[in-house]
Structure 1
Amino acid sequence: MTRTVAVVGAGAAGVGVADALRGTDTEVTLFDKGRGISGRAATRRKHGCRYDHGANYIKPGEDAWVDDLLDELGTDGLADIEQPVWTHDAEGTIAEGRDDESHKWTYVQGITQFAKRVRERAAASVHKATRIEHIARDEEGWTLTDTEGESYGPFDVLVLTPPAPQTADLLAATDWADDRLSRLHEAVESVPYRTIRTLVLHYPFELDRPWYALVNPDREHPVGWLSREECKPGHVPAGESLLIAQMSPEWSVEHYDDPTEEAAAEAADLVADLLEDDRLTEPDWVDSQGWRYALPDAGVDATAARCGEDAGLFVAGDWVVGEGRVHLAFENGRTVGSRIAERGG
């Protein structure tokens, strides 16, 4: 008998669950509030440019399996960012980063290609632009209801993968009279998160720098991350520059609701000061994206996270691991998917 699995969230963790269940007698359905899939590993197109404004690349580090996985998904359009990542401190002093020869993988068509290729390989169905707001469990399984009042299910298994605060909200809106629900909710709700607002700054000239990106390890500078999208093949036309400025959590919270033009103007001034280039105060076009729940600062209690699994309730994501990396979120999703497969029907 085919099992049915509902996965809320079609980011790296969600497609990881689906990937682990391919080849089993399981039907996986993904639900995502966005118009596309891939979560914070997102790509946009504007004025002839393509840019990754959330997660910037997939960095395997010591996890050699990542390179093998990317090969399996197809190397057509796969690109390695060759320029290094340097650092800057609270005073804006720029320094060479640590010698790190590991790859920084992305795609010519954008980082969203990763989740798209995994979903296609897993043959999972997906409901886009579908925000789940209520969950219920009865003897037939799990039923999901979206903000338009449409219901889905019942499903034998439910996996929640949104950021911990949003997963906590879903758990709070779950109709299931069981002590495990409150235990899980309490654990998930305690995971701390950083807010990040990204400003995208375009210039009609090429910026000559020896680095791909700057990162602020001490988290004391208003610009937490600054990268040059033109370092990615096929993303920015020749002779142009596109900067991705991911602002610090403190700055992002303070300016989260500012109009795009206003926030971009202040961010551009900070970037110009950091790079000592007054031309950067005047981008010719800008874009913005806020991630109220961008990156986890810790992981969930491992034991509490699994307390609902006997009833078919699972959680997955970078916040389960405690580190905001695309490949770690995906790996955790596959780990959860493997546990579902091992449990059988």
Structure 2
Amino acid sequence: MADTKIDLLVIGAGIAGLLAARELVDKHGLRVAIFDKSRGVGGRMATRRDGDASYDHGAQFFSVTNPRFKTWVDQWLDQRVVKLWFEQFGDEPPMMRYAALPSMTAVAKKLVDGLELHRQSKITSASRESGEWILKTEDGNTFRGQRLLINAPVPQALEILDAGGVSLPSEDDAFLRSIRYAKTIAAMAELDGPSGLPAPGRLKLNPPEPIQWMADNQQKGISALPAVTIHSGHDFAEKYFDAPDDERLPLLVEAAKPHLQANILSVKGHRWKFAHRLTEHDRDFYANAGLGLWMAGDSFHAPKVEGAAMSGLLAADDIAASV
């Protein structure tokens, strides 16, 4: 069993947790350890590879409105970690959408470089003892630290705290448990030729059922083979979330066919249980300085990549002020 004392424990290697960790390590000299249950990093900025076919199957792009986040994005542009992908949909206000290079996980991989990362470390409980947080992992390791930042969706964060017997103030607990999310099902389909989706490789459907979004990963520049990502609408996902792939994926494929000029060779699925926050609120992050506890991510600020990034950065400011 590992028993390591750390200044800040971070659960979740999505963009919020990684930006917070980067700021606190580089600017404030904290010792930070990051834990993620997955093999990779990036959270919903996710990429799946299947032979020579690659798919961005979570967040497809991001926009930039905040000057602080723009500073980071400008650095990534200079470093060729991100690129300009397209501008505006239909009647939306003109705004550039960015994608990461060579895929959406690239931003997370850049941020985590040099940080202490524990991959495939699923945290099963977080408890508080003698002014310290104690994290226990599924494989039996224990880690200790004065402060804790959780970047998982709030229901998962509360599950970890509940397992450790941590009680939050009643108003805080009620607020956090009130946050609701929409689901999405992703279908990743390899094609026998070019998809025919409009350049530069995206299609937003309206009405958004059963499909709300399609992306051509080859046009986007991440897949050597023709490969599309199909995102279901939230109503479809709610209805078929617990159905087997051989029931739900053919329905998405059938709905996608009229928009494709190629045949589908194979398809794989992925479920996003907390794809989009539905509950509106005005909190940039959650903090309980007395417990040394923070929560950040797209459950706060705004339910998109930039919102998660800003939540992490603002939480890092608050954490630094508590040191």
Q: Which residue of 2 aligns with 1:251?
A: 236
The 8 Å contact of residues 124 and 137 in structure 2, kept in 1 or not, is answered as yes
Give the equivalent residue in structure 2 for 1:4.
7
Return the alpha-carbon distance in structure 2 between the equivalents of residues 151 and 272 of structure 1.
50
* Structure 1 equivalent of residue 298 of structure 2: 318
Sort the Cα spacing of 1:77 and 1:161 in 2 relative to 1 into closer, same or farther, 3 A. closer
1:158 is displaced (CA, Å) by: 0.5
1:290 to 245, 268, 271: 271
Unaligned runs of 5+ in 1: 87-96
Residue 76 of structure 1 aligns with an amino acid whose one-letter code is R
Structure-1 residue corresponding to 2:39: 35
Aligned to 1:199: 187
Aligned residue in 2 for 1:152: 143
Pairing 1:223–2:208 present: no
Change beyond 3 A, Cα 1:40–1:127: same
Q: Deviation at 1:131?
A: 1.2
- Report the TM-score, using the length of structure 2 for normalisation: 0.88
Task: Give the aligned partner of residue 89 of structure 1.
Answer: none
Q: How many residues align?
A: 316
Q: Which residue among 101, 126, 131 is the counterpart of 1:135? A: 126
User: Distance between the aligned counterparts of 1:339 and 1:296, measured in 2?
Assistant: 23
Counterpart-to-counterpart distance in 2, 1:301 and 1:55: 22
Pick aligned residue for 1:71 from 70, 74, 86: 74
| Amino acid across the alignment from 2:309 | F
Take 1:24 and 1:304, find their aligned partners in 2: how far apart are those partners?
A: 20
User: Cα gap change, 1:48/1:3 in structure 2, threshold over 3 Å: closer, same or farther?
Assistant: closer
For structure 2, list consecutive stretches of 5 or more residues without a partner in the other structure: none
CA–CA distance in structure 1, aligned partners of residues 280 and 311 of structure 2: 12
SS in 1 for 2:255: helix
Amino acid at match of 2:256: V
Q: Secondary structure at the match of 1:26?
A: coil
Cross-structure match for 1:116: 109
- The whole-number CA distance in structure 2 between the counterparts of 1:330 and 1:164 is 16
Once the two structures are superposed, the pairs formed by residues 249-288 of structure 1 within 5 Å of their partners are 249-273=234-258, 275=259, 282-288=263-269
Q: Deviations over 1:27-76 (max 9, x none)?
A: 1111111111110110121231222100012221x334444313324523
Post-superposition Cα deviations, 1:2-29, rounded to whole Å, max 9, x if no partner, equal 9700011110111121122122131111
Deviates more, 1:187-196 or 1:97-106: 97-106
Residue 164 of structure 1 corresponds to which residue in structure 2?
154
Question: Are the equivalent residues in 2 in contact too, given 1:299–1:320 (CA < 8 A)?
Answer: no
Letter in 1 for 2:276: L
Q: For residues 179 and 298 of structure 1, do their structure 2 counterparts lie closer, same or farther at Cα, with a shift above 3 Å needed?
A: closer
Shift of 1:340: 0.8
Confirm or deny: 8 A CA contact 1:255 1:263 kept in the other structure. Answer: yes
2:163 alignment partner, one of 147, 164, 173: 173
Match in the other structure for 2:28: 24
Contact 1:172 1:185 in 2 (8 A): no
Letter in 2 for 1:164: V
Paired residue for 1:213? 202
Residue 136 of structure 2 aligns to which amino acid in structure 1?
T
Specify the alignment match of 2:18 in structure 1: 15
Shift of 1:303: 9.8
Give the AA of the match of 1:68.
T
TM-score, scaled relative to structure 1: 0.83
- C-alpha change, 1:100 and 1:129, in structure 2 (3 Å) is same
- Report if the CA contact (8 A) 2:11-2:152 is conserved: yes
CA distance 1:85–1:264, shift in 2 (3 Å): farther
d(CA) in 2 for partners of 1:68 and 1:222? 37
- Please say if residues 50 and 109 of structure 1, whose CA atoms lie closer than 8 Å, have aligned partners that are also in contact: no
For the 8 Å contact 1:79–1:107, the answer to whether it is kept is yes
> Kindly, what percent of the aligned residue pairs are identical?
21
Query: Quick check: 1:3–1:25 contact (8 Å CA) kept in 2?
Result: no
Distance 1:304 1:327 in 2: 14
**Residue type at the aligned position of 1:105:** Y
Instruction: Give, in angstroms, the shift of residue 104 of structure 1.
Output: 2.1
Residue 15 of structure 2 contacts residue 43 of structure 2 at CA under 8 Å; is this kept in 1? yes
| 1:243 alignment partner AA | V
Task: Report the aligned-residue RMSD.
Answer: 2.5
Give the Cα–Cα distance (whole angstroms) in 2 for the partners of residues 50 and 85 of structure 1. 25
TM-superposition CA deviations, 1:125-179 (whole Å, max 9, x none): 11111111111112241111122232111x1110111012111212322334x55
